[in-house]
Amino acid sequence: MLALAALGGVDIPRFFLALATILVVAKLLGELAERVGQPAVLGELVAGVVLGGSGLGVVPEAGVPGELIHVLAELGVLLLLFEIGLETDLKEMFRVGSASLAVAVVGVVVPFGLGFGYWAYLPHPATGEGDLTTAAIFVGATLTATSVGITARVLSDLGRMTTREARVIIGAAVIDDVLGLVILSVVSGVAAGAAITTLGVLRTLGVAVGFLVAAVLVGRFLVPRLFDLIVRMRVRYVLPVFAIAFALGLSSLAAVAGSALIIGAFAAGIILSGTNQFDTIEHEVRPIASIFTPIFFVSVGASVDLSLLDPTSPAARGTLVVAGVLGVIAIVGKLVAGWAAPWVPMRRLVVGVGMVPRGEVGLIFADIGLRTGILTESVFGAVLLMVMVTTFVAPPWLKALFGSTGAGAR
To a copy of itself, the closest distance from the beta carbon of 68 in angstroms equals 6
Residue 358's DSSP bridge partners are: 146
Comparing CB distances to a copy of itself, the nearer of 295 and 325 is 295
Identify residues 190-209 at the interface with a copy of itself (CB under 8 A).
191-192
Comparing CB distances to a copy of itself, the nearer of 36 and 122 is 36
Query: Which residues touch 105 (CB under 8 Å, ≥6 apart)?
Result: 175, 179, 340
Q: Which of 337, 332, 399 is nearest to 168 (CA)?
A: 337
Angle, helices 40-51/148-157, rounded to nearest 10 degrees: 130
To a copy of itself, the closest distance from the beta carbon of 267 in angstroms equals 13
Identify residues 264-323 at the interface with a copy of itself (CB under 8 A).
284-288, 290-291, 294
Under the criterion CB under 8 A, does residue 123 sit at the interface with a copy of itself? Answer: no
Under the criterion CB under 8 A, does residue 19 sit at the interface with a copy of itself? Answer: yes
Under the criterion CB under 8 A, does residue 1 sit at the interface with a copy of itself? Answer: yes
What DSSP string runs through 319-360?
A: HHHHHHHHHHHHHHHHHHHTTS-TTS-S-HHHHHHHT--B-H
Comparing CB distances to a copy of itself, the nearer of 3 and 199 is 3
Under the criterion CB under 8 A, does residue 347 sit at the interface with a copy of itself? Answer: no
- Going from the C-alpha of 156 to that of each of 35, 66, 85, 107, 146, the distances in angstroms are 16, 36, 18, 22, 16
Identify residues 53-92 at the interface with a copy of itself (CB under 8 A).
64, 67-68, 70-71, 74-75, 77-78
Under the criterion CB under 8 A, does residue 242 sit at the interface with a copy of itself? Answer: yes
Under the criterion CB under 8 A, does residue 376 sit at the interface with a copy of itself? Answer: no
Q: What share of the chain is helix, strand, coil (3-state, %, to 5)?
A: 75, 0, 25
- Selected from 119, 246, 266, 392, the binder of a copy of itself by CB under 8 A is 246
- Selected from 202, 214, 245, 400, the binder of a copy of itself by CB under 8 A is 245
Contact 152, 400 (CB under 8 A): no
